Structure 1
Amino acid sequence: MKNVDINLTKKAGFFERMAAAAVSVTGSASAFVTAVLVIIIWAVTGPIFKFSDTWQLVINTSTTIVTFLMVFLIQKAQNKDSKSIQLKLNELIAANRLASNRLIDVESLTEDELNVLHKYYGKMVEITSSKMNIKESHSIEEAISDALKKHEEILTKRRRKQ
């Protein structure tokens, strides 16, 4: 598995490598300390520059540029993190024989399709609510099957009593 990771890292484009490095650097304690020091230096130099418009413009422009660039870096990192989490969840769903495979790649569905699934799983909650523990059922099919078996058992018991 490590060989695959190394090969993927080598294939990463310039932006991917630059973004990963920038996220690593900007997310560190030293980056925070540096930012605080820049603000302190800027504040201390206020009297030297007589709190001029240029003095204020320097910090305003600097922070605007940094914020603008950080938005893209944060979004890039968040997208990558979200995709990796989705892939891990997909692997867990695919590996678990009791999990419903219809949830693999569910993030690519439309809002309407997600609402249909939400209602579908809401039905599973209704079906399993009659059980002692809702965790006993893992899929709608299993919940329906369990409900049908339970119904058949009740009918069989009634027939035996007659």
Structure 2
Amino acid sequence: MADRKLWFVHFAQWVSHATGRPIAFLLAFSSIVVWGFTGPLFGFSDTWQLVINTATTIITFLMVFVIQNTQNRDTASLHIKIDELIRVTQKARNVLLNLEELDDGELERLHRDFQKLAKERPHLRLKRAESDETPPERSPKR
């Protein structure tokens, strides 16, 4: 059973990586253009329309599961990394380790607490002008 899960993880990551490339978009776009140009050849028949509708529906249905799998894995790994940073930070609130377990009311309360902290400590916020400027020593060479 573990081998099947591992196979799907690798497959989902590969599909997600491959379909996220520009060439995948161009291939899909080209397929639609070719399908469109074949319309007059097939008299814009119901079967001609059914081909594109069926193909796109099947591909979309399967991609939902692949994308969800990769998204779940990315989210889980990100949570683990953030949890480790919170764990090693001395002043961090340990309640932040379980944010995904809190209900909406508790999340909203924490959000308001952090907004209040930001307003009370404006010196901790970066000024937009400072953050938008590139230091001279790091400016790209022309």
TM-score by length of 2: 0.72
Identify unmatched segments of 5+ residues in structure 2. Answer: 125-142
Question: Partners in 2 of 1:125 and 1:44 — Cα distance?
Answer: 55
- Do the aligned residues in 2 keep the contact of 1:125 with 1:134 (CA within 8 Å)? no
**How many residue pairs are counted as aligned between the two chains?**
122
Partner of 1:119: 109
Question: Partners in 1 of 2:120 and 2:100 — Cα distance?
Answer: 31
The alpha-carbon distance between structure 1 residues 46 and 80, as it changes in their structure 2 partners (threshold 3 A), is: same
Question: Partners in 2 of 1:33 and 1:84 — Cα distance?
Answer: 31
Per-residue deviation, 1:42: 0.5
The structure whose Rg is larger is 1
- Runs of 4+ that moved beyond 3 A: 116-126
Identify unmatched segments of 5+ residues in structure 1. Answer: 1-9, 137-162
Per-residue deviation, 1:18: 0.7
Question: Would you say 1:108 and 2:101 are equivalent positions?
Answer: yes
Partner of 1:53: 46
Identity in percent: 41
Alignment of 1:43-82 (within 5 A): 43-82=36-75
TM-score by length of 1: 0.64
Question: Partners in 2 of 1:124 and 1:27 — Cα distance?
Answer: 35
Partner of 1:145: none
- What code does the residue aligned with 2:109 have? K
Question: How much is the aligned-residue C-alpha RMSD, in angstroms?
Answer: 2.9
Ranked by relative contact order (alpha carbons within 8 Å, sequence separation 6 or more), the top structure is 2
Per-residue deviation, 1:133: 2.0
Cα distance per residue 1:33-56 (max 9 Å; x no partner): 100110011011111111111111
Question: Would you say 1:133 and 2:121 are equivalent positions?
Answer: yes
The alpha-carbon distance between structure 1 residues 56 and 120, as it changes in their structure 2 partners (threshold 3 A), is: closer
- What code does the residue aligned with 2:13 have? A
